A and B are shown apart, each in its own frame.
Chain A
Amino acid sequence: MLLNQFLILSAVLFSIGVYGVLARRNGVLVLMSIELILNAVNINLVAFGAFRASVGGEVFALFVIAVAAAEVGVGLAMVLLLYRNRRSIDLTLIDQLRG
């Protein structure tokens, strides 16, 4: 198998995730798109690990999975707090700091 087929798949998923983060207004959906981006990164790490026949890529993929779990926990807690205070999780309404 070519290395590039994995890297290009990962690039496609990454770009779709970037689109999701920028285009969606629902806080939960933005967090899901961030998960998509992190998964694209993981594919890259594991593919390069296989390419160099080293186990380091897989180890770092595991670290990324752990960090993603932490990020989702904190992110969803913030979305819940937002919902409790504003009765809405529309991110375009959070613009108090706008000049």
Chain B
Amino acid sequence: MSTLAALADMDRLTSGEVLVAQNVAFAVMAITMIVSALRMVTTRNVVHAALYLVVVLSGVAGIFILLGAEFVGVTQVMVYIGAIVVLFLFGIMLTKGSFGDDDGVSGERRLMAGLVGLLVFGVMIAALVDSFADAELARSAPSTTAEIADSIFSAYIVPFEAVSVLLLAALIGAIVVARQD
């Protein structure tokens, strides 16, 4: 799909006014992310899957920066790659030995899952191409952290507080569930 996007970019490249560097960066990151995501859901080694997940998450952070969302990109690196992947690695470590290979009996299961995935993909692509055929992104300055902070603490203060309480409740819940006694 990203090759298609790249081809479309090539077409517009000849007509002038295209941001070549940004499109090249997008293509490189998109291909890397898709390949890593495919490897992540198909590899037999669970630790390798976690490391492929790191590649995908870094790619997402790059996409955020490409879109001018610096603060979200940095948060992505800190929260996902710094915290969540470490949590996953601990989870893999603590449940080690329960799984050697992830495969064996799942031929039909794989087929059905692949069918569902392709179906979801087809429907989404049809809807997207139909709705946003050639919508251009506005070429604006990247949003600053101050703008995001103003927005969070004025317009979105209620959801922000709700997310804070949710996070607290989830962490206490995780401790209660996982505690040994």
Contacts and interface: CB of A to CB of B under 8 A. Distances in A.
B137 A69 contact: no
A50 B73 CA distance: 14
B98 A65 contact: no
Given A23-B109, A43-B60, A83-B95, A55 B143 contact: yes
Given A42-B72, A70-B169, 19 more contacts: A2-B8, A4-B129, A6-B137, A9-B5, A11-B128, A13-B56, A15-B118, A17-B41, A24-B41, A28-B95, A32-B49, A35-B57, A39-B57, A47-B137, A59-B151, A59-B152, A65-B75, A74-B174, A90-B99
A59 B148 contact: yes
Interface residues of A, number: 72
A80 B91 contact: yes
A20 B71 CA distance: 29
A72 B173 CA distance: 12
Interface string B165-181: 01101110111011010
A18 B120 contact: yes
Contacts of A89: 95, 98-99
Which of A28, A81, A83, A88 has the most CB atoms of chain B within a 10 A radius of its CB? Answer: A28
B120 A58 contact: no
B3 to A, nearest CB: 11
Contacts of B163: 63, 66-67
Contacts of A6: 63, 67, 137
B88 A76 contact: yes
Q: Give the residue among B66, B88, B114 with the most A Cβ atoms within 10 A.
A: B88
Q: Interface majority SS on A: helix, strand, loop or mixed?
A: helix
B1 A83 contact: no
Interface string B54-71: 001100100110111101
Q: Chain B: interface secondary structure?
A: helix
A36 B95 contact: no
Contacts of B38: 16
Contacts of B110: 23
B40 A72 contact: no
A20 B41 contact: yes
B84 A72 contact: yes
A30 to B, nearest CB: 10
Contacts of A69: 79, 83-84, 167
Interface in B102-142: 102, 105-106, 109-110, 112-114, 116-118, 120-121, 124-125, 128-129, 132-138, 140
